[in-house]
Amino acid sequence: MKVSSCCWRLTSLAFTLLFLLISNISFAQEAGDSEIPSDESVISSGETLFNNNCRVCHAVHEQVVGPALNEVYVRRPLPWLQEFIKNSQKVIQGGDEYAVNLYNQFNKTEMPSFDFSNEEVLSILAYVKSETEKGPAVAQTTDAAGGEGVAAQPGSTVDSGFVTAILIALLVVLVLILVVLGILISVVTKYIKQKSELNETDQEIVDQKFSLIKLAKSPGFIWIVTFVFTAIVLKTVIDGLLTVGVQAGYAPTQPIAFSHKLHAGDFEIDCNYCHTGVRISKNANIPSPNICMNCHSGINKVTGATESSKEIQKIYDAIENNEPIRWVRVHNLPDLAYFNHSQHVKVGGIECQTCHGPVETMEVVQQSTSLTMGWCIDCHRKTEINSQGNEYYDKLVELHSETSKDPMVVEDIGGLECAKCHY
């Protein structure tokens, strides 16, 4: 009896505990879901908060920078959500297993902390819940855009094919006309011969045979050929000699297929962002990998590509192995000349393109100007000084305008003195 009552008590205790536990769990799960309000006004204020603070990294139905938030209120209990949204780093540093896993899964991307009240977090969750229940939007705008991009390319190749086709057709027509003309001539000669009522001179004309060899041996022809030949030879030799020591056109293959057309052209990244020395020093400087990583930490493939880019991988390798990227230098003056970028770009206000050509359209950088002394001097003779807002020039401009009516050019401040450029 004693034993059995004890047993009974124990079992009942166990049952109550079990019941409590179960009810507790279901209560917690309920709380995540049911405590979220569903009023229109709360949802709309949640929407504003979400758009202003979260939309850059989260979408309800797809992963952006952070995970998709649909059903997050089912996945996680409410208190956890409130704590995480207010200060995710605190939760992660607190060692919460789920949070740490998620953090690692997202490459340790930090979600900023937000100074929200519990009500505000609730309203955001209310918005997330209402969006979850609506289901994902059907219209796939991104797909449509991608499809267009793909469609455009075959179009352009067809275009050039079309032009060639027209050219070939024209050629065929020309040949046909020639053949017809030839036939016509032979028919007409035959006909005339048959008539045979011609006088002597006419007969001669009809009998005349077109002879290539005779033509080739005529002095007039030989003279013309010799003249054209010598002219071409001379022109090529002189042109060739003039390019000795001039590297215009040099476009070496670089270790990474870096495209200025893509970066400076399509994405409109300013030259100064990468060539940081251009306004403060002699050299424009080639960016080091850490500058590439400002963007390529988050961009490892081209839009539309499924695999990550091999070229971008080379940047990661360089950083991992702590090795510099060995870019091949394109523009290089001889050691005897001194050129300073900040003097021209900052003080002179000259655009990069004046000297480097349309870099923003180049897949591979090419030296497009000659960089000869004549080129420098020519510009110094013609270019006006950019004296606006530069006190240094005030007195000089004053003195200059006393003696001359022409605007002050670089020549007037000594831009042609040998020692300015040679040391």
Partner 1 sequence: MLRNNIISAIVILVIVQIFSSCRAKDDHPGVEYAPNMYHSVPYEGLSQITDESEGKWLSSRIDEKGEYFNTNVNNPHNMNMREPVPGTVKRTEDGYLPYRIPKDSVELAGRILTNPLDSTTEVINQGKELYARFCVHCHGENGQGDGKVGVVFKGVPPYNVGRVKDLSEGYVFHVITMGKGRMGAHGSQVSYEDRWKIVRYVQTLQNQN
Q: What phi, psi does 77 have (nearest 5°)?
A: -70, 155
Minimum distance, C-beta of residue 87 to ligand HEC, in the bound complex (Å): 11
* Cβ-based nearer residue to ligand HEC, 257 or 397: 257
* Span near partner 1 by CB under 8 A; candidates 136-144, 200-208, 228-236, 397-405: 228-236
Buried b (16+ CB within 10 A) or exposed e, 293-310: eeebeeeeeeeeeeeeee
Residue 396 · residue 413 · CB < 8 Å: yes
- Mask of contacts with partner 1, 229-258, x by CB under 8 A? x--xx--xx-xxx-xxxxxxxxxxx-----
Tokens of 386: 């950019």
- Mask of contacts with ligand HEC, 296-315, x by CB under 6 A? x--x--xx-----x-xx--x
Residues in the chain: 423
Q: Residue 58: which residues within 8 A CB-CB, separation 6 or more? A: 50, 64, 65, 66, 67, 68, 69
- Mask of contacts with ligand HEC, 256-295, x by CB under 6 A? xxx-x-xxx--x-x-x-xxx--x----xxxxx---xx-xx
Minimum distance, C-beta of residue 264 to partner 1, in the bound complex (Å): 10
Work out which of 23, 29, 297, 308 binds partner 1, going by CB under 8 A: 297
Residue 81 binding result from partner 1, ligand HEC, none, given CB thresholds of 5 to 8 Å by partner type: ligand HEC
By CB under 6 A, residue 422 contacts ligand HEC: yes
Residue 375 · residue 369 · CB < 8 Å: yes
Q: How many residues in the shown chain lie near partner 1 by CB under 8 A?
A: 64
Work out which of 31, 37, 45, 67 binds ligand HEC, going by CB under 6 A: 67
* Cβ-based nearer residue to ligand HEC, 186 or 294: 294
- Read off the DSSP letter of residue 183: H
The position carrying tokens 């209402």 is 130
The torsion defined by the Cα of 140, 145, 149 and 155, in degrees rounded to 10, comes to: 90
By CB under 6 A, residue 59 contacts ligand HEC: no
Burial of 128 (0-12, 13-18, 19+ CB in 10 A): buried
* Span near ligand HEC by CB under 6 A; candidates 26-34, 71-79, 134-142, 188-196: 71-79
